[in-house]
Structure formats: structure tokens, C-alpha cells
Amino acid sequence: MSASFSQTYWVKYGWQAFNSAGDARILSLGGAAVTDFGTSVSPLFNPAASSRVGIHNINYTHQSRLAGMINSDLIGLPIRSLNRPLNLIIIHEGIDDIPDTRHILMDFGLDGVPGTGDIGEGNGILDEGERLDEKKLKYFSQRQLGLHLSTAWKREHFEIGLALKMLQHSLGEFSGTGIGLDVGLLMTPWKEGQLGVTIRDVTTSWQVWDNGTVERFKPTIITGISHSYQLSEWPLSVTGMANVVLDLSGRSIDEDFNIGKNGGQMLMGINVVYHHKVALRLGRNAIGSTTAGIGLSWADMSLDYAFLNAPSGSGLGSTHLVSIAVNSDWLKTQIEKL
């Protein structure tokens, strides 16, 4: 006879592979992308953009965070074989060589002799006379693999999107599986203007670990606005965007405002494009850091770079992203020529 026990917790973090993901273009704009459309990565921020993917529809992004400690890769592409628009995003994030210090303390107390029960023995604190056993130091890895599948419907002046997301998380010898649902709305109420709303984890998301622990995540509501202006004298366009993020899972140290027990952030970005070929970008992201980037675009390919500054005084190191997006028809032609 055997029995199993499980506990359920409401937690704030756990889907960071999704929350920190994006391509270089979007993240250089502070991630203020609820009204963004045109790439296969846009549905990650608003599923309603699933039917508005442009010609550069296959995207690959590599991201290096915390001075190279965390590396992640993202692939976004539309699925064309069905009757309705579908968009798939694959995310992989990994951290290697994480030190496991749980069993290296020689907690023998002040006399340095085990089993005497003297002051400090077994208290879990490195007291005077105690030391660490380097031979017991081990290392482990963390891996997260995420899938984001989205679609959208057009209803009069609105576009409504739905996304199913799944996460496989391994942490040392433990592993967990998560599932969640996002919904989004996108509209164009005036010329060159966009309004958008995304609710992440709308039904609350779940992460179930192999030891029986269940982690649940409350929804996050993101609203956004953007407007583009085309200069008449120059082949220059300027787009400004802003998002308001309300996290229903509670307050955090990065919040810009709070509503009751819930914290919120302001995201902002500005995108300046010359002749539809060269873009300069600037933004502010959810942790209050300055973001910047540059983009180059051709008929069948675009390259983007983003720099995300670390919070002041954090010592966490900067984040660098590089993205390449290509036209799937052009890519197919190039492969056939090989």
C-alpha cells in the first residue's frame, strides 16, 4: 500500500521563459508589444496578432542574459497547412553549472568535532571554527522548453486571439510540466493607431512537479496603445507605444504603481524607421531598465540587435539579443537550389 501527498501553492514566478522571451525588435522597444503585429513573435505578446504576420515570417532569436549566465533561443513561424491562421513559437532556456551548496557545510559546532552537541552544531550556519567541504560541492542545470500555439478571429473592427502555452521545466533531478491559456484583443480605432489588451494565464496557469507539488499562477492584464506618424518631407516614420501591466499575483520590487495588493509596470518604446530599411529603437522595460536596438531590413530578410541595460546598482550584467527573420518562400527557394 502506498500513499502520495501533494500541495498546491499560489506563486509569482515560474513562467519566466515566456515572460522574458521575445525577439530583438520587440525587446529593444521595452517589450511594449501588446499592439505590435507583423512578425511570428508578435503573438507571444498578443495572440490577436496571429493573423497579421508579415513576409518575414520565420524568426530565430538568441538571447544572452546576466553576462552570459542564461542563454535562450526562440523560433517563431506560422503554420500554413490548415484553414485558419496558426502561429507556433518554440522557446528554450538553459542555465548550466549552478552550484549545489546544500550538503557542503561541516556543521560540527565551535569545537570542530562531530557528535558532541556543542554550541553551533547542526544549526545550519557557518560558525567560527566550521568550514565547507569542497569535495561535496556539486553542480546542476536548469532547462525550460516552452511551446506557444496561437490563432485569431476577425470580428467586425476587432481581432480576437487565443494562445495555448505549455512548459517543460527541469531543475536538477526534479521536473515539472505546465499549461496555460492567454487571450488577446487588437483593434484600430483611428488611422495609424492601435489599441490592444492581453490577459495572460486567463484561467490561471498550472505547473505540476514530479514530487506532487502544484504551482498555480494568477492572471496578468496588459493594455497598450500605439500610434505611427509618417513624415511627409522625409521617408521617415515614427511609432510610439506604451503598455500598462497589472500583475494580479501581487506586488514586486519592480512595480511603478500599485492597485491594492497588486503591482503594475509601465512599458514604453519608440521606433524610428528610415526608408523601411533602417530602424533605431529605444524603450523602457518592466524592470525599469533602458533598452535600445537597431534593425536592418531587406526584401526577404531582416536582422535586429537589442541591448537591455541592467538595473542600476544590480550588478546583474547586460542582456544582448540577435534576431534574424526571413521569408519562408524565399528560404524554400534557397534550399531547393542546394
Q: How many CB atoms lie within 10 A of CB 181?
A: 17
Q: Which three cell numbers stand for residue 54?
A: 508579415
Summarize the chain as % helix, strand, coil (round to 5): 10, 50, 40
- Closest-CA residue to 304 (of 335, 285, 279, 329): 279
Angle at 216 between CA 46 and CA 61, to 5 degrees: 40
User: What is the value of pTM for the model shown?
Assistant: 0.86
**What's the chain's average pLDDT?**
87
pLDDT band at 126 (very low <50, low <70, confident <90, very high): low
Per-residue pLDDT of 240-263, as tens digits, reads 999 999 998 877 777 888 888 888
pLDDT for 2 beyond 50:
no
Per-residue pLDDT of 58-97, as tens digits, reads 999 998 876 667 889 999 999 987 788 899 999 999 887 7
Burial of 153 (0-12, 13-18, 19+ CB in 10 A): middle
Per-residue pLDDT of 205-223, as tens digits, reads 889 998 888 999 999 999 9
pLDDT band at 3 (very low <50, low <70, confident <90, very high): very low
Asked if residues 175 and 210 have their Cβ atoms less than 8 Å apart, the reply is yes
Per-residue pLDDT of 10-28, as tens digits, reads 887 778 889 889 999 999 9
Q: Choose which CATH entry (2.40.160.60, 3.40.710.10, 3.40.50.720, 3.90.1300.10) describes domain 47-101+137-337.
A: 2.40.160.60
Residue type, 4: S
Q: What contacts 305, CB < 8 A, 6 or more positions away?
A: 24, 28, 293, 294, 295, 320, 321, 322, 323
Q: How many helices (H) and strands (E) does the chain have?
A: 3, 20
What local confidence, expressed as pLDDT, does residue 314 receive?
A: 56
- Residue spans per domain, the chain: 47-101+137-337, 102-136
Q: Which helix (H) or strand (E) holds 140?
A: strand 138-155
